[in-house]
């Protein structure tokens, strides 16, 4: 009895290409479809679709873990993932964790029960020791984030560099009392940006006060809270590096409510270059990330794993850029 491998050999195509033809994937050339059809006819190969699904246990669905859908950064990241998924005939199941470790673990059961073919993590709420058991049930790709000890494919940028160039910019503007503001405690990228902040401060011989660290700020409302805390300090920072444009916008809004001028009284730098960075007054100096491209790269990597293809061709590494505006 002929197999799909026999069809691939006779057609002169890869096994994955034959599989794509059989599953009616888009963007397969008519020439390849014809070669597969002719080979199947010659070999009298008639696939049983039900049996094929049971054998492969493929759903053509990828779960994407997003911490907050209301954060534009993750919306743009998801858009990049979806663009590549749609082009390749995959569906997305979007799982909002709300930074909740228990919720994240519940969603991981989707992979264990074979309800999805793989998982893309855009944030990580648990330690990798708690996750790795689930990750052994199917492919997991980490996108944007990373976790110490995680031996799974990932797409991420040099966040230490991002923290460094942002802090160095504030120092070059004359600031010496610079606060650092970050999000989730589990976040590897937040820790890396903090390393970059510390590197720049140390390089210029500046003191780092423990009271100038704010390690639980993730959104606009957190930014407002941080600004109120800084305002009450006896020796207030004159500048603050944040890990999000949303947080930076909250700081700027609250600073104005407290009668402060930005950047004269408090300079603010964000991260990501979201639309809000240009909408607020003053416009926010920020670190630009190629968010859409990060999402695209993660989904291409996932597809290559599922279809047992070679890894996508390596392109020049995605970079971070300092975008200087009026908030500094």
The model's pLDDT over 226-245, given as tens digits with 9 standing for 90+, comes to 999 999 999 999 999 999 99
Q: Is the pLDDT of residue 66 over 50?
A: yes
Mean pLDDT of the chain: 90
Q: Is the pLDDT of residue 122 over 50?
A: yes
Q: Is the pLDDT of residue 52 over 70?
A: no
pLDDT at 294: 95
Domain 59-156+291-316 has CATH 3.40.50.2300: yes
Average pLDDT over residues 263-272: 97
Average pLDDT over residues 124-150: 90
Q: Pick one of 1.20.1740.10, 1.10.260.40, 3.90.1150.10, 1.10.3720.10 as the CATH number of 4-55.
A: 1.10.260.40
Residue ranges of the domains in the chain? 4-55, 59-156+291-316, 159-288
Average pLDDT over residues 17-29: 82
Q: Is the pLDDT of residue 300 over 70?
A: yes
pLDDT at 50: 43
Average pLDDT over residues 106-121: 93
**What are residue 265's phi and psi, to 5 degrees?**
-90, -35
- What's the farthest any 2 CA atoms get from each other in the chain? 84
Average pLDDT over residues 45-50: 60
pLDDT at 314: 57
Topology of the domain covering 159-288: Rossmann fold (3.40.50)
Domains 59-156+291-316 and 159-288 share a fold: yes
Instruction: Please give the model's pTM, rounded to 2 decimal places.
Output: 0.78
pLDDT at 201: 97
Both tokens assigned to 263: 């950047």
């Amino acid at each position: 009895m002929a197999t799909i491998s026999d069809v691939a050999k006779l057609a002169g195509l890869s096994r994955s290409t034959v599989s794509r033809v059989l599953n009616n994937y888009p963007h397969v050339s008519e020439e390849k479809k014809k070669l597969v059809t002719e080979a199947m006819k010659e070999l009298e190969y008639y696939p049983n679709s039900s049996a094929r699904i049971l054998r492969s246990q493929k759903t053509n669905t990828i779960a994407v873990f997003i911490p907050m859908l209301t954060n534009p950064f993750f919306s743009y990241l998801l858009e990049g993932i979806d663009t590549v998924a749609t082009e390749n005939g995959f569906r997305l199941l979007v799982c909002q964790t709300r930074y909740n470790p228990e919720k994240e673990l519940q969603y991981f059961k989707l992979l264990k029960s074979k309800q999805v073919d793989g998982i893309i993590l855009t944030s990580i709420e648990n330690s990798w020791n708690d996750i790795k058991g689930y990750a052994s049930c199917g492919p997991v790709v980490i996108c944007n984030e990373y976790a110490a000890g995680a031996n799974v494919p990932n797409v991420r940028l040099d966040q230490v560099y991002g923290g460094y160039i942002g802090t160095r910019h504030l120092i070059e503007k004359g600031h010496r009392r610079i606060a650092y503001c970050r999000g989730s405690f589990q976040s590897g990228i937040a820790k890396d940006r903090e390393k970059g902040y510390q590197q720049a401060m140390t390089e210029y011989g500046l003191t780092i006060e423990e009271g100038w660290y704010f390690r639980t700020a993730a959104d606009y409302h957190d930014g407002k809270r941080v600004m109120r805390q800084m305002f009450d300090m006896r020796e207030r920072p004159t500048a603050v590096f944040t890990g999000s444009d949303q947080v930076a916008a909250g700081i700027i809004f609250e600073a104005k409510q407290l009668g402060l001028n930005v950047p004269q009284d408090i300079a603010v730098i964000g991260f990501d270059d979201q639309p809000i960075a240009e909408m607020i007054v003053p416009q926010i100096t920020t670190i630009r990330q190629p968010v859409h491209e990060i999402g695209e790269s993660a989904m291409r990597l996932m597809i290559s794993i599922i279809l047992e293809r070679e890894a996508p061709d390596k392109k020049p590494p995605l970079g971070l850029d300092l975008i200087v505006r009026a908030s500094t």
